[in-house]
Amino acid sequence: MSEKTLGIGFLGAGEVSILHGRALREIPKARLVGLWNRTAETARRRAEEEKCRQYESPESLVHDREVEAVFVLTNLETHLQFARMAMEAGKHVLLEKPICASVSEVEELMRVAERTGRMCVPGHNMIHEEGLRRAHRLIANGEIGDVVTCYVMYNIYHSDERASTLPGVVRHLLTHPLYTMMYLVGRPTRVVAFKKNCHHPRQPEKEDLAMVLLELENGGIAHLSVSFAADDLSPAPWTYTAKVIGTAGTTHYTYQDWVEVKKGISHSHTYTAYQDTITNEDTAFVDLCLTHQGNPLSDLEDALWAQKTTEAVEESIERGVAVQVQ
C-alpha cells in the first residue's frame, strides 16, 4: 500500500509560489494538485511549469476533493477572504506572511479556525531555519544565560522597479524580524520606531528603511532593522542577521554562510538557506496535516502579537512616542 500523500492547492501563483513549488517537489508526502491566480495567463504559465491543474476560480480549487490543504499566497488584502473560504471548505491552510492587514482580521481568522476545526498556520518560515532552531534551544535551556539584547537585521537593496510592486518595509518586511525575535526571546512590551525613505525618491510615500527598539517581557531589549535602501558591503555584512547576546553566551545566524553568485527572485545573489526554510516549513505543515499530532512552531496567537506589534510600530512612528504593545 502506497504511503499517504497530501493534496495541496495554491491560491496565488506569483513569485512566492515558485519557492513553495520547489519545496513540494522535495517532500515525498506532498503533491501540488493545482493552482489559481487572479491573472489567468500567470496561472496558465505556472501550471505548465508545475505540471499541475489550473483552476478557473478560488471556489473551484477549495471545493476539489483532491485538495486537502490550501496555501494562500495572494496579496495581503485577500488573505482573510481566501483563508476563511478554504477553512470553511474543510481545508487546512498555510497562510503567507504578513498574514493579515489588522489585528481584527487575525482575530477573525482565529474564530474561523476554532469554528471549523481547521488549522491556519502562519507562514513564518525563518523559524524553520536549522541555525535559528538551534539558537532557540540554547536560549530556552538557559545555555547563554539571561537575554541581554537581540538583533535582527535585514539590509538588501531593492531597485525602484522591484520596490514599486511592494508596500513599504514596515508592512512588507518587519514581520520577518518580529516573529524571529519572538521565537528566540519572547514577546515585546513597548516599542519606539523610526522610518525613512533614503534611496527610492520616485516612491516618497514608501519607506525603504525602518528601525525599531523593543523592550521585552524577559527584561532584555531588541533592535530590529529592515531596509531596501542599501546593501551592506562590509566584510561581515548584516544582509540578514539574527544575534542574541546573553549573560553567559551568544548565538548568531546569517544568510552569508551559503551564497550563490546568481540572481535570486528579489535579490542580487541567491541566499541558499532561504529556500531550505520554505522547504522545512512546508514539510512541517504537511506532517501536521497528515498525522494530526503536535503543534506548529508558530500559530495564530504568535501572528496576533506580531500584528499588534506592527500596529504599535506604526503608531510610534506617527506620534513620535514609545507605545505599549497590548
- Could you please state the CATH topology (level 3) that the domain comprising 129-272+306-324 is classified under: Dihydrodipicolinate Reductase; domain 2 (3.30.360)
pTM: 0.93
Report strand pairing: 221-227 vs 240-246. unpaired
Cβ atoms within 10 A of the Cβ of 104, count?
11
Take residue 100 and report the three cell numbers written for it.
493579515
Strand-pair partners of 289? none
Take residue 239 and report the three cell numbers written for it.
544582509
- pLDDT beyond 90 at 169: yes
Is there a contact between 33 and 66 (Cβ–Cβ < 8 Å)? Answer: yes
- Give the model's pLDDT for residue 42: 96
Listed in order, the ranges of the chain carrying CATH 3.40.50.720 are 6-123
Is there a contact between 156 and 265 (Cβ–Cβ < 8 Å)? Answer: no
- Give the model's pLDDT for residue 265: 66
d(CA 306, CA 324): 13
Is there a contact between 79 and 100 (Cβ–Cβ < 8 Å)? Answer: yes
Q: How confident is the model at residue 244 (pLDDT cuts 50, 70, 90)?
A: very high
Q: Is the peptide bond before 237 cis (omega within 30 degrees of 0)?
A: no
The residue type at 38: R
Q: Using the 8-state DSSP alphabet, how is residue 125 labeled?
A: G
Rounded to 5 degrees, φ, ψ at 41 are -65, -40
Question: What is the rounded average pLDDT for all residues in the chain?
Answer: 94
267-310 pLDDT, tens digit per residue, is: 777 777 788 999 999 999 999 999 999 999 999 999 999 999 99
Beta strand extents in the chain (DSSP E only):
6-11, 30-36, 53-54, 69-72, 92-96, 120-123, 147-155, 188-196, 209-216, 221-227, 240-246, 249-254, 259-260, 270-271, 323-324
Question: Could you tell me where the DSSP H helices lie in 130-227?
Answer: 130-140, 160-163, 169-172, 175-185
- pLDDT beyond 80 at 171: yes
15-58 pLDDT, tens digit per residue, is: 999 999 999 999 999 999 999 999 999 999 999 999 999 999 99
Q: Using the 8-state DSSP alphabet, how is residue 32 labeled?
A: E
Q: Using the 8-state DSSP alphabet, how is residue 69 labeled?
A: E
Q: CATH number of the domain at 6-123, out of 3.40.50.720, 3.20.20.450, 3.40.50.1820, 3.40.50.920?
A: 3.40.50.720
Take residue 109 and report the three cell numbers written for it.
481568522
Q: Which of 123, 124, 128, 55 is nearest to 83 (CA)?
A: 123
Rounded to 5 degrees, φ, ψ at 205 are -80, -10
Which residues 6+ apart lie within 8 Å of 318 measured at CB?
none
Q: Which of 186, 318, 325, 176 is nearest to 253 (CA)?
A: 176
Q: How confident is the model at residue 259 (pLDDT cuts 50, 70, 90)?
A: confident
30-127-176 Cα angle (round to 5): 110
Listed in order, the ranges of the chain carrying CATH 3.30.360.10 are 129-272+306-324
Q: Which of 59, 58, 63, 60 is nearest to 74 (CA)?
A: 58
Taken as a whole, the chain contains a residue count of 326
81-97 pLDDT, tens digit per residue, is: 999 999 999 999 999 99
Share of the chain above pLDDT 70, in %: 98
Radius of gyration of the chain (CA): 20
Q: How confident is the model at residue 126 (pLDDT cuts 50, 70, 90)?
A: very high
Residue labelled with grid coordinates 541555525: 131
Q: How confident is the model at residue 165 (pLDDT cuts 50, 70, 90)?
A: confident
Share of the chain above pLDDT 90, in %: 85
Burial class (CB in 10 A: 0-12, 13-18, 19+), 24: buried
- Give the model's pLDDT for residue 132: 95
Is there a contact between 244 and 139 (Cβ–Cβ < 8 Å)? Answer: yes
d(CA 208, CA 198): 6
